[in-house]
Chain A
Amino acid sequence: MPEPIRRIVAGLATLGLAIVVVVGLIAGEPSGSDRVGSLGNRIRCPVCQGEPISESSSETARAMMEIVAERVESGQSDGQIVDYFRDRYGDWVVLDPPFRGATLILWLLPVFALVGGIVVILGRVRGVHVEGNELEDPAP
């Protein structure tokens, strides 16, 4: 095959593969079709040493897992189930800190740090805004 055609075919093949992968990613399932298990991972076992109820073998944790399973069965949303436990044990029982109140800052700090870091790095780039900054090496 002549070189230009070969390149076009290779490019199209790569593009085709990329489309399959992207579609696969978009159409794919998010992990954790097991709702009971992933909810169990988010709720702390109240009588153990910093374990979620899904991983503890204590009776309390088992009973709580059963409550989670029942409520998932009866069609409650994740938020409702988590709130049920939060009402009984307080915010402490959730291993995933809520996106409000005292723990809102915990979620926002990484974002601020990321933005700050990017600003510092961009500030160190010489002439980052100059004429598009197209950099071409001499031929490899």
Chain B
Amino acid sequence: MSSALGYLGLLAALVSAAMLIVRGMTGLRRTERATPARTRLAALGLLVGTATAMFGLEFGLLTNDFSVEYIANNSATTTPFLFKVASAWAALEGSIILWVLVLAAFTYLVWLGHQRRGDGDRLGAGALMVMGMISLFFLALIVTVSNPFRLCITAAMVGCAESGSLPFAAFAAPLEGFGPNPLLQNHILMAVHPPLLYVGYIGLTVPFSFAMSALLLGQSGVEWLQRTRRWTLVAWIFLTAGILLGGLWSYEVLGWGGYWAWDPVENASLMPWLAATAFLHSAVVQLRRGMLQAWNFMLVIGAFALTILGTFLTRSGVIVSVHSFTQSAIGPMLLWFLMLIMVGSLTLFAFRIHLVASSPRLDSLASREGAFLLNNLLLTLFLFVVLAGTVYPMLIELFTGSQVGVGGPFFERIGLPLLLILIATIGFGSVAPYRSASRAVMWQRLRNPLRAVLAVVAMAVLLGARNRWILLTALVTGFAVAVIVRHLWASARAAADGQARQIPAAALRVMRNDTHYWGGQIAHVGVAVLALGIALSGNLGVEDELRFEPDQTSEFAGMELTYIESFVRQESNREVLGARIEIRRDGALISTLEPRLNRYFQTGQTVGTPSVNIRLGGDLYLSLVAISESSASLSVFWFPYIWLIWVGGGICVAGGAWAWLVKKPTRRRLVAEAHDGDAVSGGNRA
């Protein structure tokens, strides 16, 4: 029943996508055909069809309809409600249903924008055509090789042994399902991290579609940029939040104490983020100064191609990792699609470049544009390093059969210095005027922040701080933050007309008056905080292996850890084995931690759940390795100030949200920056 409903939804969506392509194409070619009314049914049908498919899958999961192979093998009667819902995207076939649903939602939102423009919007019609093509590909992928609605025809004791490709065939339903992968049903973040990442990935389809439409029309100028700026921002916000929560999930669930392993699939999410971040910056240069037109097309094509590459890496089984789904036939198809996208869009770009590329030259490197260029150079370089380090080992293995290792040390040795230079660029670029920055203006804006941060770091050196990386990071991040704070202070003071008590309110007005610029600055502060968290927790962290007998106490990082007892707990889907450990400092009880091992019944796998005591000074992180009647072995970690990473990432997301959601005040025209004695030449609007 759920299977038939879902399958019908897919077919309806498939037809709608085909219709969207045809109607979008005629609208692209002829102005009088570019009317929203002609594409309404197709856009709506795509959304309703994919939503029906998702509903069918969720309905089947919640009603334990094990006649569907996907449900029998990825859910169980004992699976808790939330994880039943999340099972819809916990495995390959279901995850692509979510994928097309998000894509259809974006397509419908683009159609609404198309409708607001009224008749004759050829650019919008073309973008809808491109989105229809991408939807059609993924829908075709689902109904041919990756169908989650296949019916089970041979039931096993648990789960489904064999399934038939016909959706309405006679079926056999097993009594009990397998349940989700234990790693994926161990934490609530599993329900949240993938959808956020999908919204981020798929949001990048929108600027890509508009860019392709603009190229097809041979349309130069900034219309496609203006219309997709908000979508790029939305995609960026969700991508950032998704990556951040992925790191948090890894930290909270996997028990190895880390949050980022430079796993190829993590890299696959980082690469589009780097491209999108570079694009958010370079789009400003084109909107403000008309430069970098061709480069922006390249970045958008690159960002979209990287999302497809990421999808391929995750779903083709070419890599082994916690993220990868099982091997399947969709890998080669995704690879072909990636090739098609690359060849098609780059060919189009090559044929149209003479129409769209007109680059006024840079007046001076010492300017806002110069800083943006440096930012783009560094971000693209970082992207290039991550791409090379991820793909190169696979190519070597493919062609020579020999395996080479490229892991964390490689990426960190190149990436961390790049990150520091980028943050230093924030300090300079955020307050540099456009066209050219004179030394006098820059010195006025930078001298006090520079002195303040030098004073703080010098103090730290005199007090005995010796770690080179931490000092350097503190210097660079402190400088960037101080420059931004000073700039806000100066702008607010000018806007408050010298009345000291008005300054906080004026600062808020200044920030609301130019949400894009100040949203960006909030995100910059977030990046600085995050970098400081990486440096502190990475360089000052300590770890140890401790083996306890009952009532034994061990010293670790200035704390006393006492093993109290072991415990066993039966839950509906798993058995929980844990150790109760009391943490004391100077004899006073701080906390009781319970690191656990969970054994899942259906698969027999054991997955740990670390236990973390979070304090301002740092996290004490206990991970249970083994436990028996007489002893418990634990990995213990001390990560100073690691919360700065999560807080910094959160500030980043908040900055994006500020630029996206906060409305400019309309009634009172503000006089904020025009008054700022040193914020001349419109230095702020970005």
With contacts A124-B361, A140-B677 taken as known, whether A106 is within 8 angstroms of B625 at the C-beta atoms is no
Contact with A along B409-440 (1 / 0, CB 8 A): 11001100000000000000000010011111
Q: Is A57 an interface residue (CB 8 A)?
A: yes
In chain A, positions 26-46 with a C-beta closer than 8 Å to chain B are 27-32, 37, 41-42, 44
Report Cα–Cα, A121/B362, bound state, in Å: 9
- Asked whether, in the complex, the Cβ of B680 is within 8 Å of the Cβ of A41, the reply is no
| CB atoms of B462 and A20 under 8 A apart | yes
- The answer to whether A140 and B381 touch across the interface, beta carbons within 8 angstroms, is no
Residue in A24, A37, A91 whose Cβ sees the most chain B Cβ within 10 Å: A24
The reply to whether B405 and A44 contact each other, CB–CB distance below 8 Å, is yes
Minimal Cβ-Cβ distance residue in B for A30: B468
Asked whether any CB of chain A lies closer than 8 Å to the CB of B402, the reply is yes
Assess the A135–B436 pair: CB atoms within 8 A. yes
Closest B residue to A94 by beta carbon equals B405
Q: How far, in angstroms, from A94 to B403 measured CA to CA in the complex?
A: 10
User: Which of B19-27, B119-127, B154-162, B363-371 forms part of the interface with chain A?
Assistant: B363-371
**For window 386-402 of chain B, which residues contact chain A by CB distance below 8 Å?**
388-389, 392, 396, 400, 402
- Is A97 a contact partner of B441 (Cβ separation < 8 A)? no
Docked Cα-Cα span, A110 to B470, in Å, equals: 25
Number of interface residues of A (CB under 8 A): 57
Q: Which residues of B come within 8 Å of A, CB atoms?
A: 255-258, 261, 263-264, 319-322, 359, 361-366, 373-374, 377, 380-381, 384-385, 388-389, 392, 396, 400, 402-410, 413-414, 433, 436-441, 444, 447, 450-451, 454-455, 457-458, 460-462, 465-472, 475, 538-539, 543, 623, 625, 635, 677-678, 680-681
- Beta-carbon contact of A17 and B441 below 8 Å: no
Q: Are A102 and B396 in contact (CB under 8 A)?
A: yes
Instruction: Check A113 against B384 for contact (C-beta < 8 Å).
Output: yes
- List the A side residues contacting B677 at CB < 8 Å: 140
Q: Tell me which residues across on chain B come within 8 A of A96, comparing CB atoms.
A: 405, 407, 409-410, 413
- Assess whether A14 is in contact with B451, with CB atoms less than 8 Å apart: yes
Q: Report if A67 contacts B (CB, 8 A).
A: no
Chain B residues in 8 Å Cβ range of A125: 361-365
B439 A136 Cβ-Cβ under 8 A: yes
Other-chain residue from A49, A52, A91 in contact with B404 (beta carbon distance below 8 A): A91
Whether B405 contacts A93 by the Cβ 8 Å rule is: yes
Instruction: Check if B388 sits within 8 Å of A106, measured CB to CB.
Output: yes
B321 near A56 (CB under 8 angstroms)? Answer: no
B396–A137 CB distance below 8 A = no
Q: Are A91 and B440 in contact (CB under 8 A)?
A: no
Q: 8 Å CB contacts to B: which residues of A95-140? A: 95-97, 102-103, 105-106, 109-110, 113-114, 117-118, 121-122, 124-126, 128, 133, 135-137, 139-140
Bound: A57/B597 CA distance, A: 13
Give the distance to chain A from B584, nearest Cβ to Cβ, in Å: 26
Q: List 29 A-B contacts (CB under 8 A).
A: A18-B454, A24-B457, A28-B465, A31-B470, A44-B407, A50-B261, A50-B320, A55-B256, A57-B255, A57-B635, A91-B404, A92-B403, A95-B406, A95-B407, A95-B410, A102-B402, A106-B389, A110-B385, A110-B414, A118-B377, A121-B373, A124-B362, A125-B363, A126-B362, A135-B364, A137-B438, A137-B441, A137-B681, A140-B677
Nearest 7 CB-CB pairs, A to B? A95-B407, A24-B461, A137-B438, A92-B403, A28-B468, A96-B409, A17-B454
A27–B468 alpha-carbon span in the complex (Å): 8
Interface status of A90 (Cβ within 8 A of chain B): yes
Given A13-B451, A31-B539, A128-B365, residue A136 in contact with residue B377 (CB < 8 A):
no
